[in-house]
Amino acid sequence: MCDANPTGGLPGKHSERKTLDNVNADLDLKGLICPMPLLKAKKALNELQPLQILRVQATDPGSVRDFSVFASQSGHILLSSTEEGGIFTYQIQKKA
């Protein structure tokens, strides 16, 4: 389900401020409809360490609002929310 990104970040360099390229796990939820993208993302975030970043790809247009509301209510940080060709990509940083 979630795969670590072996190319993220610089070796030996750790900071609390992550760049959008420093993704710790990817989750492909394309084809799933509400509420599954959010439920699976929440489960994946639970498996991450604080301040790590989860990248989620989904095709459900309702996920835009879902992820925005989830981030504001949960304390996780929605670093980015983009759409390209019907694929919505979110980068969420787990709260400290």
2 is annotated as an active-site residue: no
CB neighbour list of residue 85: distance below 8 Å, 6 or more residues apart: none
* Catalytic option among 9, 26, 32, 34: 34
As annotated, the active-site residues are 34
